[in-house]
Structures are given as structure tokens and as C-alpha cells.
Amino acid sequence: MDRQVGNTLESIESAQEFVRLLSDAVAGAKQDIAADVKREQATSKTTRRLDALRIAQYSLEKLELHMNKSRVILNDLRTLRRLVMNAPRELN
């Protein structure tokens, strides 16, 4: 793994920022693909390009769902870390 990427994702907060940026990129790509699908539908009935655009659109929707799930998991991990770090230590 690239050393810079490894340093970037050393904390839950930095991973959350990465997921946020990736989610933003996915949202932008979804908008671009939706516009391409509309344009392609207006110019022709069915083409391989339109089929490919629809597959890309579907894949981006799945990726968006995974990004949302990742956000929830990272939030849960951050909460658990806080609970563990603030919990009194038991004596043996």
C-alpha cells in the first residue's frame, strides 16, 4: 500500500472524510450518467451504449448504497471507540 494513503486512513475520522469525498464523487458521476442516459434515449431507441450507461447507472446506485452503509459502520466504530476509551477499567 502506498505510504501516503496508509497515513491518510490511520483514523476513523480520516476514513470518514475519505468515504464522504468518495460519496460526493459517486453522486456527481450518477448525475453525469443520468444526463447521458436521457440524451441517449432521446437520440435512439436501444443501443449498446444505452445498455452500458444503464449498467453503469445501476452500479453507481449500488456503490452509493455501500457508501451509505460504510458511513453508518464508521459512525458506529467511532461511538464504540469512545465508549471503550471512556469506560472505567476493571480491576482483576
Over the stretch 1-47, which tens digit does the pLDDT of each residue have?
455 555 666 899 999 999 999 999 999 999 999 999 999 999 877 78
pLDDT (tens digit, 9 = 90+) per residue, 80-92? 999 998 877 765 5
- pTM greater than the 0.85 cutoff: no
pLDDT at 10: 82
Q: Give 1's Cβ-side CA count (13 Å radius).
A: 8
* Cα–Cα distance for residue pair 41/5, rounded to 1 Å: 40
34 assigned to some structural domain = yes
Segments forming the whole domain that contains residue 53: 13-80
From 18, 28, 24, select the one nearest 70 (Cα to Cα).
18
Is position 25 within any domain? Answer: yes
pLDDT at 1 (0 to 100): 44
Total number of domains constituting the chain? 1
Is 29 domain-assigned? Answer: yes
